[in-house]
Chains A and B, each alone.
Chain A
Amino acid sequence: MEFMKDLFLFLRTRKKFWMLPLIVLLLLMTLLVILTSVSAIAPMIYSVF
């Protein structure tokens, strides 16, 4: 819940509600990746830095 609240406040502050469907979609995709063991350390992708 804390995450959803933070997310809502962020989108409202930044006036970026157009991102909401995309983020929801990506969150749903979490179900697919939740079983994978991905580290929080980013792969070597420079755009991620």
Chain B
Amino acid sequence: MRVLGISAYYHDSAAALVEDGEILAAAQEERFTRVRHDASFPRQALDEVLKQGGIQLKEVDAIAFYEKPFLKFERLLETYHGFAPKGVRSFSAAMPVWIKEKLHMRKMIRKQLPEAEGVQLLFPEHHLSHAASAFYPSPYKEAAILTVDGVGEWATTMIGVGIGSEIRVLKELHFPHSLGLLYSAFTQYLGFKVNSGEYKVMGLAPYGDPYDAQTVAFRDCILDQLIDIRPDGSFLLNMDYFDYATGLSMIRPARWKALFGMEPRAPEASLTLGHQQLAQAIQQVTSEVMLGLARCAHELTGKNKLVMAGGVALNCVSNASILRSGLFENIWVQPAAGDAGGALGAALAGYHIGLGGPRMVGSARAANAPVAASDKMKGAALGPSFTDLEIRTVLDREKANYHYYPNPAELTAQVAQLLADGKVVGWFQGRMEFGPRALGHRSILANPRVRDMKARVNEKIKARESFRPFAPSVLIESAGDYFDVGAAGQWNAGAGECAYMQFTLNHKKSAPALPAVVHVDGSARVQTVNKVDHPLFWQLINDFNALTGCPVLLNTSFNQRGEPVVCTPADAYEGLLSMEIDYIAIGSYVLERACQEQKRINALRTFEPD
């Protein structure tokens, strides 16, 4: 049985295809349309996942949309009713869209997909989709489930339990009390874009001193005035300070100014110590809430494994705090934890719950593979790939100058040498990742031991803020030499791996310095690279290790600020011409920027800041 999952019309549209419980393909629409966080119907992503699956739309048994539009509409009406007469402007802006289109989601999907006439349509709840995306692909037969995001229909937080192919919802917190929206409110107050800049707040937080009096005062202020955390892990927000329930903003700026003594930061304005301390404070509170929720999940379910999804599950600092608490033996976080992953969750919920499909835990290849490779995400490499012939056709069309390395060992040796020489290389190999992280398929790579590499990649190449950290990709066999992984089985996401950059780990003081990838507080958002999911990437790091004695590479997504991660060879070549990357390796082809036609080399392109 095949189920197609769709998320659309809010942000991060995506499509995913599941066959008999196996994830065949998943991709986010923004990668094809080149519009960041594209919310439009994911037609191109959908066509691509069907192509990857080798099937036509009419061969699908069901299509699952990732939430229930009627239930969301109920929340809207009750919220406006509850806050009336406030919210008239917001109401009049929202209602035409809903009445004209969103309430008719069934009809809209049928209209978009006329080929799927007669195919069953399913509408799992938003948080059930997140829960399904977390539990079904995980390597666990049974697990506690925690999903936390901005808001779905009503739920903003859900605790459940997964047993076999069944998911039971045990507790929910409802709108407007939302940890995701609280974090988004601080994102807006700190001058970043909501639904986009949350990870910048997370990256900014370590610059604040956790023990400084100002940070402590901010934290106390948040806990006293903004959020009431209850002993059972639940929480209530003080809506006197928030405008998002019915307004056109997240916060009430005058009240926030009175509370924190700072004007809301204007976008792109300089960052002060106060902003850093406030980011630190909200990060501490977020971790505290997440820990309380995890404790509640543990008490309610009695399980020793936890799976997580929802946008807040992308907060790797909070995830790490749960990991370190020792509440659970293992934690697995869906790499596409945000709404794009809802498409995958909807497809999996459609298959296992809607159609009653059985669940097999672990993939066949797991017998001789690292244990974390027994999840069903295939290293999150679920998107499109391109053959050497397809790549060459594009490069010839672009009149590109390239070297061809038909032998993968030669390719990795050559690229490893370039990286060892301090060059920055775009690495475009195999299937594109699903989820926000580049995991060695659409990555920009560099030598992490070079002191000024962070500034160079941030400012010259990606055109982004200088405070933003980069992630290290480390050979799984060497992870313990460089990062504080704790006792085996305690830190990992499935017995030995942080395969998807979902946790921060501390860099060992005794290990060689890695200035470009270790954050100011000594932490790093580690990706452990295993040979099964990423054989070529593993080989590249191994070759780099042989040359330098360092089994770690700086790994960041192959895009510049405001641009979606590259999808096709043409996108990558455009990146080479416009970003100051020294080389790119696309499939078996290596291209040097300096060797391309000089008249084609451009300045950085302009994208709307993210």
- Chain A residues packing against B (C-beta within 8 Å): 2-3, 6-7, 10, 14, 16, 19, 22-23, 26-27, 29-30, 33-34, 36, 38-49
Identify B102's interface contact among A6, A23, A33, A40, CB under 8 A: A40
Contact of B100 among A3, A7, A10, A38 (CB under 8 A): A38
In the bound complex, residues from chain A placing their C-beta under 8 Å from that of B108 are: 40
Decide if B102 touches A16 in the complex (CB within 8 Å): no
Contacting pair A41 B70 (CB below 8 A):
no
Given A44-B248, A46-B181, A49-B10, decide whether A30 and B100 contact each other with a Cβ distance below 8 A.
yes
Say yes or no: A43-B97 contact (C-beta < 8 A), given A3-B106, A3-B107, A49-B151: yes
Residues from chain A with a CB closer than 8 A to the CB of B271 are none
Instruction: State whether B94 touches A43 (Cβ < 8 A).
Output: yes
Nearest-Cβ distance from residue B76 to partner chain A, whole angstroms:
7
CB pair A33 B96 closer than 8 Å: yes
Known contacts A3-B106, A29-B99; 6 further A-B pairs (Cβ under 8 A)? A6-B70, A42-B10, A42-B102, A44-B248, A47-B245, A47-B247
Q: Nearest Cβ in chain A — how far from B73, in angstroms? A: 8
Residues of B whose CB lies within 8 Å of any CB of A are: 9-11, 39-41, 70-71, 74, 76-77, 79, 87, 90, 93-104, 106-108, 150-151, 181, 184, 194-195, 244-250
User: How far does the Cβ of A44 sit from chain B's closest Cβ, in whole Å?
Assistant: 7
Inside 8 A of B249's CB, which chain A residues have their CB?
46
Q: A29 to chain B: which residues have CB within 8 Å?
A: 95-96, 99
User: Known: A19-B74, A19-B77, A45-B248. Contact between A38 and B151, CB under 8 A?
Assistant: no
Q: A1 → chain B, closest Cβ, in Å?
A: 11
Q: A10 to B41: give the CA distance in the assembly, Å.
A: 24
Tell me whether A42 and B97 are in contact (CB under 8 A): yes
How far in angstroms is the closest Cβ of chain B from A10?
Answer: 4
Cα distance, A23 to B103, chains bound together (Å): 11
Min distance, Cβ B79 to any Cβ of chain A, angstroms: 6
Chain B neighbourhood of A46, CB < 8 A: 150, 181, 184, 194, 244, 247, 249-250
Residues of B within 8 A of A6 (CB): 70, 106
Q: Report chain B residues within 8 Å CB of A26.
A: 95, 98-99
Query: Residues of B contacting A49 with CB < 8 Å?
Result: 10-11, 150-151, 195
A33 to chain B: closest CB distance in Å?
4
Residues of chain B within 8 A (CB-CB) of A3 are 103-104, 106-107
**In the complex, what distance in Å separates the CA atom of A43 from the CA atom of B195?**
13
- Closest B residue to A43 by beta carbon equals B93
Q: Is the CB of A30 within 8 A of B70?
A: no
* Complex interface: chain A residues within 8 A of B98 (CB): 26
Given A22-B77, A41-B39, A47-B79, does the pair A2, B96 have CB atoms closer than 8 Å?
no
Chain A residues, CB < 8 A from B247: 46-47
**Interface pair A38/B106, CB less than 8 Å apart:** no
Q: Is the CB of B106 within 8 A of A2?
A: yes
B29 to chain A, nearest CB (A): 12
9 contacts across the A-B interface (CB closer than 8 A):
A2-B107, A10-B74, A19-B74, A30-B99, A42-B9, A46-B184, A46-B244, A46-B249, A46-B250
- Nearest Cβ on chain A to B80's Cβ, whole angstroms: 8
Instruction: In the A-B complex, list the 6 residue pairs whose CB atoms are closest, starting with the nearest.
Output: A46-B244, A40-B101, A33-B96, A10-B70, A41-B39, A30-B99
Q: How far is the CA of A34 from the CA of B99 in the complex (A)?
A: 9
| Least Cβ–Cβ distance between A38 and chain B, in angstroms | 5
Please tell me which one of the listed residues B40, B41, B71, B76 contacts residue A47 in the complex, with CB atoms under 8 A apart. Answer: B76
Cβ contact within 8 Å between B95 and A48: no
Shortest beta-carbon distance from B33 to chain A in Å: 12
User: Which residues of B are found within 8 Å of A48, using beta-carbon distances?
Assistant: 10, 76, 94, 97
Q: How far is the CA of A48 from the CA of B9 in the complex (A)?
A: 11
* Assembled-state Cα–Cα distance A47/B39 (Å): 16
Residue of A nearest to B195 (CB): A49
B76 pairs with A36, CB closer than 8 A: no
A46 CA / B30 CA spacing, docked (Å): 21
Asked whether A45 and B94 contact (CB < 8 A) given A3-B104, A3-B107, the answer is yes
**Smallest CB-CB separation from B185: which chain A residue?**
A46
Give the residues in chain A near B100, CB-CB below 8 Å. 30, 33-34, 38
**Cβ contacts under 8 Å, B151 to chain A:** 49
B362 CB, nearest partner CB in chain A, Å: 35
Contacts of A36 in B (CB 8 A): 96
B70: chain A residues at CB < 8 Å are 6-7, 10
Q: A7-B70, A45-B248 are in contact. Are A38 and B103 (CB under 8 A)?
A: no
**Which of these, B40, B41, B99, contacts A33 with CB under 8 Å?**
B99
Closest Cβ–Cβ distance, residue A41 to chain B (whole Å): 5
CB atoms of B74 and A16 under 8 A apart: yes
Q: How far is the CA of A27 from the CA of B97 in the complex (A)?
A: 12
Is A45 a contact partner of B77 (Cβ separation < 8 A)? no
Tell me the nearest residue of chain A to B193, going by C-beta: A44
**A contact residues around B248 at 8 Å (CB):** 44-45
Q: Assuming the A-B contacts A2-B107, A30-B100, A46-B184, are A40 and B9 also in contact, with contact meaning beta carbons closer than 8 angstroms in the complex?
A: yes
Which of B79, B87, B248 has most chain A Cβ within 10 Å? Answer: B248
CA distance A26 to B94 in the complex (A): 12
Residue of A with least CB distance to B41: A40
Nearest-CB distance from A32 to chain B (Å)? 9
User: Which of B70, B103, B107 has most chain A Cβ within 10 Å?
Assistant: B70
Task: State whether B101 touches A38 (Cβ < 8 A).
Answer: yes
Partner of B94, one of A14, A19, A40, A42: A42
CB of B601 to closest CB in A, whole Å: 35
Q: Evaluate contact between B107 and A41: CB separation under 8 angstroms.
A: no
Chain A residues, CB < 8 A from B93: 43, 45
Scoring A2, A10, A49 by chain B CB atoms within 10 A of each residue's CB, the highest score goes to A49
Chain B residues with Cβ below 8 Å from A40 are: 9, 41, 97, 101-102, 108
